Amino acid sequence: MKKYQNFINGEWRDSVSGNTVENRNPAKWDEDLIGLFPSSNEEDVNLAVCAAREAFNKWRLIPAPKRGDVLKLVGDIMSNRKEEIAFEMTREMGKVIAETRGDTQEGIDTAYYAASEGRRLFGYNAPSELPNKMNLSFRMPIGVAGIITPWNFPMAIPTWKIFPALVCGNTVVFKPAELTPKTATTLVEIIDEAMKKVLGNDYIPGVINLVHGKGRVVGEAFLSHKDIDLISFTGSTEVGRRINEVGGRMLKRVSLELGGKNAQIVMDDANFDLALDAVLWGAFGTTGQRCTATSRLILHKKIHDMFVEKLVERVKKLRLGYGNEKDVDVGPCVSETQRNIVHSYVEIGKNEDKATLLIGGEFAIEGELSKGWFYKPTIFVNVKPNMRIAQEEIFGPVLSVLKCEDLEDGINILNGTEYGLSSSIFTNDVNKAFKAVRDIQAGITYINGATIGAEAHMPFGGVKGTGNGHREGGWTVYDFYTEWKAVYIDYSGKLQRAQIDNY
Ligand code: UN1
């Protein structure tokens, strides 16, 4: 059986602890052991951070277009290996192969975007208030970035963070989710291969480091390490709060992408077939395990009963199974723990005043499904906005259906949670659509589209409890990975005092 390693200072090596953990296929738990991965400790983190710190002195001096060339090659290698990456990702975390192909493609798109950003990284200039003086500004790299990523997008999310960090001239220590170490290993292998090919004799060890292990150990060590300048984290609100507190005290720059309780509104004038396709994809794609998953459906009262009936018919037809097999719509939950969390929310829902479980609500254990952590797609109706199943992130195939009176009521319900990541409204009335764009409190709003499907070159992130105001993706992420330097060049040959000599 294959034993995998950390990657520190340009070398693959075991954790100094010697400890390892198993990585297994969530659809075939007992029969498919993927490999053993290091369970690292503070010492591994320290070695990685020291290597990254050392490498920063050289990497920041490589011209940004050349750093971009590395990422261009990373994108090429990922494209060549797309099928293999997707297959292994499905094996490791369960979502169906069409989705893991999409996840990989999002990484490729991010690589090419970052590659071209190496030739932009624009700064501004502005006229000076004094004669014979020039004012410029530059984006400067910051230092060592600690990257902590979740298991639901094992390729896309790490690339959203690592590629911009690198092209801006930072170095990286990467802690992937414990449940998806294999995809992370492949990503780091590819980055290192591209570094060696593009830089040749100028290769710098330590620009990218990989430390596998638990959040409570490795993540905590990132937090307390004085030489980690930035932390980018995607995961739970609870952990995000802690990172912000400790990181804030240490004046680390912190980017947080946290929970969501995303809703899709369907108005009485909508295209219902389209809205149905969208909610199925939004709620049950990735087995509901997306930050952007549709976990609330808000239906206009006039169409509520008709829509729910059609929805249940469609949900009955969803095929569960191992995502690398043909014609599977929904894979397993990522782990036994995750399935238990989902089930505990279903129990909460059943006990909440007058919420009705319409379909699902139990483990799926028929035939081959008994080998994995499958859960039946679940729908609750008669859900009230303040119920826990309408407020808390479940991260599983559970949809809560609520009824609204009109557009305003629908938007109020949608806005009535602590989160604000993604949102959607189905309407054919252009006035309603524009009002929704204005009034919905979310980082992402889809008109006549599902709550999932963000593109790599657009800002990604949320308002309120979903984050701390940064955005990944597109041009916006470059604000996080650089710091501005203002430069004044005085060619007058004399001391010119701003604000004083000229007024
Ligand atoms: C996430 O939900 O964790 O928009 C990321 C989407 C994907 C990315 C989602 N492109 O659904």
Question: The domain that contains 232 carries what CATH number?
Answer: 3.40.605.10
226 lies in the same domain as 280: no
Count: domains in the chain: 2
> Which CA distances in Å does 443 have to 87, 364, 460?
31, 34, 7
Cβ(153) to ligand 1 under 6 A?
yes
Question: What is the number of other CB atoms lying within 10 angstroms of the CB of residue 269?
Answer: 14
236 lies in the same domain as 298: no
304 lies in the same domain as 238: no
Give the pLDDT band (50/70/90) at residue 418.
very high
461 Cα to the center of ligand 1, angstroms: 10
290 lies in the same domain as 308: yes
258 Cα to the center of ligand 1, angstroms: 12
Given 88, 92, 117, 257, the catalytic residue: 257
* pLDDT digit string, tens, across residues 115-157: 999 999 999 999 999 999 999 999 999 999 999 999 999 999 9
Give the pLDDT band (50/70/90) at residue 432.
very high
Average pLDDT estimate for 50-69: 98
200 lies in the same domain as 273: no
Asked, for residue 497, whether it belongs to a domain, the answer is no
Cβ(106) to ligand 1 under 6 A?
yes
Question: Which protein residue's CA is at the shortest distance from atom 8 of ligand 1?
Answer: 454
Asked, for residue 304, whether it belongs to a domain, the answer is yes
Asked, for residue 21, whether it belongs to a domain, the answer is no
273 lies in the same domain as 340: yes
71 lies in the same domain as 112: yes
* Cα 381 off chain centre by: 29
Share of the chain above pLDDT 90, in %: 99
Asked, for residue 495, whether it belongs to a domain, the answer is no
183 lies in the same domain as 296: no
**Which of 153, 232, 257 for a ligand 1 pocket mutation test, highest count of atoms within 8 Å of Cβ?**
153
Cβ(454) to ligand 1 under 6 A?
yes
Please state the length of the chain.
503
Asked, for residue 421, whether it belongs to a domain, the answer is yes
Cβ(466) to ligand 1 under 6 A?
no
Cβ(453) to ligand 1 under 6 A?
yes
User: Of 280, 295, 372, 366, which Cα lies nearest the Cα of 332?
Assistant: 372
Report the mean per-residue pLDDT for the chain.
Answer: 98
Cβ(290) to ligand 1 under 6 A?
yes
Residue 42 a catalytic site member: no
Asked, for residue 162, whether it belongs to a domain, the answer is yes
Q: What is the pLDDT of residue 125?
A: 97
**Which of 93, 264, 290 for a ligand 1 pocket mutation test, highest count of atoms within 8 Å of Cβ?**
290
134 lies in the same domain as 148: yes
234 lies in the same domain as 309: no
400 within 8 A of 390, measured Cβ to Cβ: yes
246 lies in the same domain as 270: no
Given 50, 168, 291, 333, the catalytic residue: 291
Residue 257 a catalytic site member: yes
Asked, for residue 303, whether it belongs to a domain, the answer is yes
> Which CA distances in Å does 481 have to 66, 171, 208, 402?
17, 10, 15, 40
292 Cα to the center of ligand 1, angstroms: 6
pTM summary value:
0.97
Q: What is the largest CA-CA distance in the chain?
A: 85
- Whether pLDDT at 353 is above 90: no
Average pLDDT estimate for 177-198: 98
- Whether pLDDT at 352 is above 90: no
395 lies in the same domain as 346: yes
Average pLDDT estimate for 315-322: 98
Cβ(110) to ligand 1 under 6 A?
no
Which CATH number fits the domain that encloses residue 267?
3.40.309.10
- Whether pLDDT at 357 is above 90: yes
Give the pLDDT band (50/70/90) at residue 288.
very high
Average pLDDT estimate for 282-293: 98
DSSP string covering 411-469: HHHHH-SS--SEEEEE-S-HHHHHHHHHH--SSEEEESS-S----TTS-B--SGGGBSS
Burial class (CB within 10 angstroms; exposed 0-12, middle 13-18, buried 19+) of 138: middle
**Owning domain of residue 399:** 262-447
Q: What is the pLDDT of residue 371?
A: 98
Asked, for residue 34, whether it belongs to a domain, the answer is no
Average pLDDT estimate for 72-96: 98
Average pLDDT estimate for 274-278: 98
